[in-house]
Structure 1
Amino acid sequence: MPLVDMPLEQLYAYEGRSPRPEDLDAYWERALDEMRAVDPQVELTPSSFQVPFADCFDLYFTGVRGARIHAKYVRPKNVSEPHPAIIQFHGYTGNAGDWSDKLTYAALGYSVFAMDCRGQGGSSEDTGSVKGTTHHGHIIRGLNDHPDNLLMRHIFLDTAQLAGIAMNMPEVDADRVGAIGGSQGGALTLACASLEPRIKKLAPVYPFLCDYRRVWEMDLAKDAYGELRTFFRHFDPRHEREDEIFEKLGYIDLQHLANRIQGEVLMTVGLADTICPPSTQFAAYNKITAPKSTDIYPDFGHEHLPEVSDRTIQFMLGL
């Protein structure tokens, strides 16, 4: 098989390269306190898209820093309540996707909540003004400011807040909620389950936002991670702040949050992935202490993976 990273046996032992900030736990408890203090002001509006077996809503809520966050909400009809739910997250720069790709779960009797990340391709707001660059990239937004102002921090909190809103819906069984997504969506699946540990099952596919220093050392700070190189070129061209920058990125590095996950994990990895290198994904996977397993695609990179949707559905049927 092609080898773009470590052999598989080494991947299962890899512990990551990026530093963990000493105050990481306090950082995220402070962040969660900020989230819990927000009145979400949930608003549901029927969508123009409807189907006979489910009701489709545009859902809005207020997240940290006052941003109105949008999600698509599909609720099955004629299903005994409370019933299970799926939280769905999209890839980097994208949006919540078409209504139609939520209908399989709705047909199975699951509610589906699909979030638009703030400042990306959907309808959510990005209200976060920061010191420093706002050019090309959410990983680096706020990197020249206080760590509490990192944009990815706010997006991580949005995932947990949406999960809490879903769990509080009277029609949803709060003990039977899962999370899914690929790439950035896989990263946000990990973030959601880390910050809302009631997530029962999660199925991240080649997750982004893990082990930034490893990405840099592999000379793969391009494509989705290209903004790391942009940041250094503009703001630290001699790399005098390199250790400081990678430590600050540690606050939004999912390998350092993964030990908080309590739900069962099915992670899918393509071993030929040069966008989100396999070792970076395993840096997070190997820190998960909850029940976990992997689906490995030896010949595939950051691309469509055959049967991954089918296998995810089978996994989620256990909710």
Structure 2
Amino acid sequence: MANDKVEDLLKYTGISPKPDDFDAYWDRALKELDAQPLDYELVEADFQTPLAACYHLYFTGVGGARVHAKFAKPKQLQSEKGPGLALFHGYHTGSGDWSDKASYAAHGITVIAMDCRGQGGMSEDNFITKGTTLKGHIIRGIDEENPDKLYYRNVFLDLVQSVRILMSMDQVDEEKIAVHGCSQGGALTVACAALEPRVSLAIPVYPFLTDYKKAWEMEITSSAYEEIAYYFRFMDPLHQRQDEVFNKLGYIDIQNLADRIRARVVFVTGLADTVCPPYTQFATYNKIQSDKELVVYHEYGHEYLPYLGDRVMQELLKM
């Protein structure tokens, strides 16, 4: 039965719309980012280990927000430049503990782990938008006429800027850049690899922020997508703006970015996921045109996946 389900999922291409000017929208956004300097500040962290030097890294994102990331680099001198890894965190949380970043750095991998604006970390959200901000960030800016006001537009650009900073560092080989995260972090992994084609390896795990209309039609009112249902309930109970809303969400739907990816992709999913339903995830996976591998956990959902951490480390050490 599980294999039959995978066969069906591999045929699914999503139902959420893609705006007609989608490519122009992101090309214009990237031009704005190109004008943003890569200047950053490093502040030594209290957490240190014999093998990893740890810092708070700050940069200015588009719109002037001060964005924070955890940064860890190997202490031991390397004869050659080594790989770089950008880690992206789950929804509502932050960049997490230092220990996992230090572990990668101890293996010669330079790590940056960005806090998304206004979530559980130290990054500033200085954006002012019309309309509700109740329940979450997907709908932040949805009532603005200009889709440039969508919250995730600037977050996606922050991802690219963080990776460009990583690539600019003396000890990092810009041809060996990996991105990785779970849930929201999985979505950001896809978005970053799509918008920065020099990324060489992407490992998204049960990604969020994809095929919004499908998630809504599945009546996901107690999961990561619940804010869409709350939006209609509070702001548009007659659904007079339904087509407009889903079209606008198409600008920040990662399935619409997936065909831009040039990196090798190791895509991880659990078939029992009720938080980010597999259909929504496969809407993205099936649009990836680069070299890709699907890793399926048949009895697992939106949770800890055994052996995955080991697999990620092995992939990074092969770069």
* TM-score class normalised by the smaller sequence: over 0.9
User: In the TM superposition, what is the alpha-carbon distance from 1:230 to its structure 2 partner?
Assistant: 1.2
User: In the TM superposition, what is the alpha-carbon distance from 1:136 to its structure 2 partner?
Assistant: 2.1
Identical aligned residues as a percent: 53
Is 1:22 the counterpart of 2:28 in the alignment? no
Q: Distance in 2 between matches of 1:39 and 1:131?
A: 29
Query: Residues 88 and 95 of structure 2 are in contact (CA less than 8 Å); yes or no, is this contact kept in structure 1?
Result: yes
SS at match of 1:223: coil
Q: Distance in 2 between matches of 1:221 and 1:244?
A: 21
Query: Residues 54 and 102 of structure 2 are in contact (CA less than 8 Å); yes or no, is this contact kept in structure 1?
Result: no
Q: Aligned-residue CA RMSD in angstroms?
A: 1.3
Is 1:85 the counterpart of 2:90 in the alignment? no
Q: Partner of 1:303 in structure 2? A: 303
Query: Residues 140 and 228 of structure 1 are in contact (CA less than 8 Å); yes or no, is this contact kept in structure 2?
Result: yes
Which amino acid counterpart does residue 165 of structure 1 have in structure 2?
Answer: I
Q: Partner of 1:141 in structure 2? A: 140
Which amino acid counterpart does residue 119 of structure 1 have in structure 2?
Answer: G
Most deviating of 220-229 and 69-78: 220-229
Q: Distance in 1 between matches of 2:119 and 2:128?
A: 15
Q: Distance in 2 between matches of 1:28 and 1:106?
A: 33
User: In the TM superposition, what is the alpha-carbon distance from 1:25 to its structure 2 partner?
Assistant: 0.3
Query: Residues 55 and 77 of structure 1 are in contact (CA less than 8 Å); yes or no, is this contact kept in structure 2?
Result: yes
Query: Residues 222 and 229 of structure 1 are in contact (CA less than 8 Å); yes or no, is this contact kept in structure 2?
Result: no
User: In the TM superposition, what is the alpha-carbon distance from 1:318 to its structure 2 partner?
Assistant: 2.1
Is the alpha carbon distance of 1:216 and 1:13 closer, same or farther for their aligned partners in structure 2, counting shifts above 3 Å?
same
Q: Partner of 2:200 in structure 1? A: 200
Q: Partner of 2:185 in structure 1? A: 185
Q: Distance in 2 between matches of 1:39 and 1:263?
A: 25
Q: Partner of 2:61 in structure 1? A: 63
Which amino acid counterpart does residue 121 of structure 1 have in structure 2?
Answer: G
Alignment size in residue pairs = 317
Is 1:9 the counterpart of 2:7 in the alignment? yes
SS at match of 1:57: strand
Q: Distance in 2 between matches of 1:281 and 1:162?
A: 25
Q: Distance in 1 between matches of 2:205 and 2:266?
A: 8
Is 1:238 the counterpart of 2:238 in the alignment? yes
Q: Distance in 2 between matches of 1:67 and 1:241?
A: 31
User: In the TM superposition, what is the alpha-carbon distance from 1:2 to its structure 2 partner?
Assistant: 7.2
SS at match of 2:305: coil
With the length of structure 1 as denominator, give the TM-score of the two structures: 0.97
2:40 to 39, 42, 47: 42
User: In the TM superposition, what is the alpha-carbon distance from 1:116 to its structure 2 partner?
Assistant: 0.5
User: In the TM superposition, what is the alpha-carbon distance from 1:39 to its structure 2 partner?
Assistant: 2.6
With the length of structure 2 as denominator, give the TM-score of the two structures: 0.97
2:51 to 53, 66, 80: 53
Q: Partner of 1:120 in structure 2? A: 119
Q: Distance in 2 between matches of 1:23 and 1:158?
A: 22
Q: Distance in 2 between matches of 1:2 and 1:228?
A: 29
Query: Residues 2 and 272 of structure 1 are in contact (CA less than 8 Å); yes or no, is this contact kept in structure 2?
Result: no
Q: Distance in 2 between matches of 1:154 and 1:221?
A: 26
Q: Which runs of 5+ in 2 are unaligned?
A: none
Q: Distance in 1 between matches of 2:265 and 2:39?
A: 31
User: In the TM superposition, what is the alpha-carbon distance from 1:317 to its structure 2 partner?
Assistant: 2.0
